Amino acid sequence: MAELAPRRLRALGDIAVSQLRHIGPKRTEALSSLGLETVFDLLTLYPRRYIDRTRQVDLSDLMVGDEAAVFGEVKSSSSRRTRQGKSLVDVSIVDHGETMKIAFFNQPWRAAQLVAGVQAIFFGKVSDFRGTRQMTNPVVDVIVGTSGEERDASRVGGIVALYPASGKAGVTSWEMGGFVEESLKRAGPLLDPLDADLRRDHSLVDRTAAYWGIHIPGDMAEVPPARRRLVFDEFLRLQLLLALRRRRLEESSAGVRHPFDEHDLDVSPGSLSGEDSSLVRQFLAAHRFALTGAQRRVLAEIGSDMSSALPMHRLLQGDVGSGKTVVALATLLMAVDGGRQGAFMAPTEVLAEQHVAALRADLAGLTVRDDAVLGGERDLVVQMLTGRVKGKERQTILSGLLSGGVDIVVGTHALLTDDVRFASLGAVIIDEQHRFGVEQRALLRDKGREHSGEALDPDLLVMTATPIPRTAAMVVFGDLDRSVLDEMPAGRRSIRTSWAQTTLEVQVAWQRVRDEVAAGRRAYVICPLVEESERVEATSAVAERTRLATHELKGLSVGLLHGQMKGSEKDEVMAQFRAGEIQVLVATVVIEVGVDVSEASVIVIEDAWRFGLAQLHQLRGRVGRGDAQSYCYLLGEAPNDEGTQRLEALVNSNDGFALAEIDLDIRGEGTLLGARQRGRSDLRLASLRRDEEILNEARQVALELVATDGLRDNEDLVDELRLFVDDEEARYLFRS
Residue 348's binding partner among ligand ADP, Mg ion, none (Cβ under 5 to 8 angstroms by kind) is: none
Among 289, 534, 569, 642, binds ligand ADP (CB under 6 A): 289
Q: How far is the CB of 295 from ligand ADP (least distance, A)?
A: 6
Q: How far is the CB of 526 from Mg ion (least distance, A)?
A: 18
DSSP sequence for 659-724: HHHHHHHHH-HHHHTTT--TT-TT-SS--TTT-HHHHHHHHHHHHHHHHHHTTTT-HHHHHHHGGG
- In DSSP terms, 441 is beta-bridged to none
Q: How far is the CB of 388 from ligand ADP (least distance, A)?
A: 23
Residue 373 phi, psi dihedral angles, 5° rounding:
-110, 160
Q: How far is the CB of 593 from ligand ADP (least distance, A)?
A: 9
Say if residues 295 and 330 touch (Cβ distance below 8 Å). Answer: no
Does 654 participate in binding ligand ADP (rule CB under 6 A)?
no
Residue 323's binding partner among Mg ion, ligand ADP, none (Cβ under 5 to 8 angstroms by kind) is: ligand ADP
Stretch that binds Mg ion, among 66-74, 131-139, 171-179, 587-595 (CB under 5 A): 587-595
Q: Whole-angstrom Cα distance, residue 106 to residue 114?
A: 15
Does 324 participate in binding ligand ADP (rule CB under 6 A)?
yes
Within a 13 Å sphere around the CA of 597, how many CA atoms are in the beta-carbon half? Answer: 28
At 377 the three-state DSSP class reads strand
Count CB-CB contacts under 10 A for residue 262: 12
Residue 236's binding partner among ligand ADP, Mg ion, none (Cβ under 5 to 8 angstroms by kind) is: none
Q: Whole-angstrom Cα distance, residue 75 to residue 73?
A: 6
Stretch that binds ligand ADP, among 57-65, 289-297, 550-558, 653-661 (CB under 6 A): 289-297
At 434 the three-state DSSP class reads helix
Residue 326's binding partner among Mg ion, ligand ADP, none (Cβ under 5 to 8 angstroms by kind) is: ligand ADP
- In DSSP terms, 507 is beta-bridged to none
DSSP sequence for 460-519: EEEEE-S---HHHHHHHSTTSEEEEE--PPTTPPPPEEEEE-SHHHHHHHHHHHHHHHHT
Count CB-CB contacts under 10 A for residue 375: 8
**C-beta closer to ligand ADP: residue 39 or 465:** 465
**C-beta closer to ligand ADP: residue 290 or 416:** 290
Q: Which sign, positive or negative, has the C-alpha torsion 204, 236, 718, 179?
A: positive
Say if residues 60 and 98 touch (Cβ distance below 8 Å). Answer: yes
Say if residues 498 and 558 touch (Cβ distance below 8 Å). Answer: no
Rounded (10°) angle between helices 613-620 and 656-667: 160
Among 326, 500, 560, 584, binds ligand ADP (CB under 6 A): 326
**C-beta closer to Mg ion: residue 486 or 648:** 486
Within a 13 Å sphere around the CA of 161, how many CA atoms are in the beta-carbon half? Answer: 26
Phi-psi region of 440 (alpha: psi -120 to 50; beta: other; left: phi over 0): alpha
Could you say which residues in the range 310-329 bind Mg ion, by CB under 5 A? 324
Does 295 participate in binding ligand ADP (rule CB under 6 A)?
yes
**C-beta closer to ligand ADP: residue 324 or 445:** 324
Q: What is the DSSP letter of 290?
A: P
Residue 129's binding partner among ligand ADP, Mg ion, none (Cβ under 5 to 8 angstroms by kind) is: none
Does 291 participate in binding ligand ADP (rule CB under 6 A)?
yes
Stretch that binds Mg ion, among 478-486, 553-561, 591-599, 627-635 (CB under 5 A): 591-599
Q: Whole-angstrom Cα distance, residue 605 to residue 620?
A: 9
Position closest to ligand ADP via CB: 323
Say if residues 311 and 460 touch (Cβ distance below 8 Å). Answer: yes
Continuous H helices in 120-219 = 153-157, 173-187, 196-201, 207-215
**C-beta closer to Mg ion: residue 7 or 324:** 324
Report the Cα–Cα distance between both ends of the chain, in Å, rounded. 37
Whose CA is closest to 525, among 602, 590, 592?
602
Could you say which residues in the range 471-510 bind ligand ADP, by CB under 6 A? 489
What character string, x for contact with ligand ADP (CB under 6 A) and - otherwise, covers 245-264? --------------------
Among 292, 307, 383, 483, binds ligand ADP (CB under 6 A): 292
Among 47, 72, 145, 318, binds ligand ADP (CB under 6 A): 318
**C-beta closer to Mg ion: residue 162 or 600:** 600
Does 297 participate in binding ligand ADP (rule CB under 6 A)?
no
Whose CA is closest to 95, among 69, 72, 74?
72
Among 138, 255, 321, 448, binds ligand ADP (CB under 6 A): 321
- In DSSP terms, 385 is beta-bridged to 411
Among 467, 478, 528, 594, binds Mg ion (CB under 5 A): 594
Stretch that binds ligand ADP, among 49-57, 154-162, 165-173, 314-322 (CB under 6 A): 314-322
Does 632 participate in binding ligand ADP (rule CB under 6 A)?
no
Residue 292's binding partner among Mg ion, ligand ADP, none (Cβ under 5 to 8 angstroms by kind) is: ligand ADP
Q: How far is the CB of 290 from ligand ADP (least distance, A)?
A: 6
Does 596 participate in binding ligand ADP (rule CB under 6 A)?
yes
Q: Whole-angstrom Cα distance, residue 409 to residue 447?
A: 13
Stretch that binds ligand ADP, among 251-259, 285-293, 406-414, 537-545 (CB under 6 A): 285-293
Q: Whole-angstrom Cα distance, residue 158 to residue 144?
A: 15
Q: How far is the CB of 479 from Mg ion (least distance, A)?
A: 23
Residue 291's binding partner among ligand ADP, Mg ion, none (Cβ under 5 to 8 angstroms by kind) is: ligand ADP
At 174 the three-state DSSP class reads helix
Element counts in the chain: helices (H) and strands (E) = 26, 25
Does 625 participate in binding ligand ADP (rule CB under 6 A)?
yes
Q: How far is the CB of 319 from Mg ion (least distance, A)?
A: 10
Residue 692 identity (one-letter amino acid): E
What character string, x for contact with ligand ADP (CB under 6 A) and - otherwise, covers 178-217? ----------------------------------------
Stretch that binds ligand ADP, among 2-10, 122-130, 319-327, 692-700 (CB under 6 A): 319-327
Residue 489's binding partner among ligand ADP, Mg ion, none (Cβ under 5 to 8 angstroms by kind) is: ligand ADP
Q: How far is the CB of 271 from ligand ADP (least distance, A)?
A: 16
Whose CA is closest to 171, among 146, 142, 137, 151?
142
For 251-310, strand residue ranges (E) read 254-255
Stretch that binds ligand ADP, among 185-193, 288-296, 510-518, 640-648 (CB under 6 A): 288-296
Residue 307 phi, psi dihedral angles, 5° rounding:
-90, -5
Among 255, 323, 467, 710, binds ligand ADP (CB under 6 A): 323
Q: Whole-angstrom Cα distance, residue 624 to residue 54?
A: 60
Q: Which sign, positive or negative, has the C-alpha torsion 576, 582, 583, 587?
A: negative
Name the site residues for Mg ion (rule: CB under 5 A): 324, 594
Name the site residues for ligand ADP (rule: CB under 6 A): 289, 291-292, 295, 318, 320-326, 465, 489, 594, 596, 598, 625
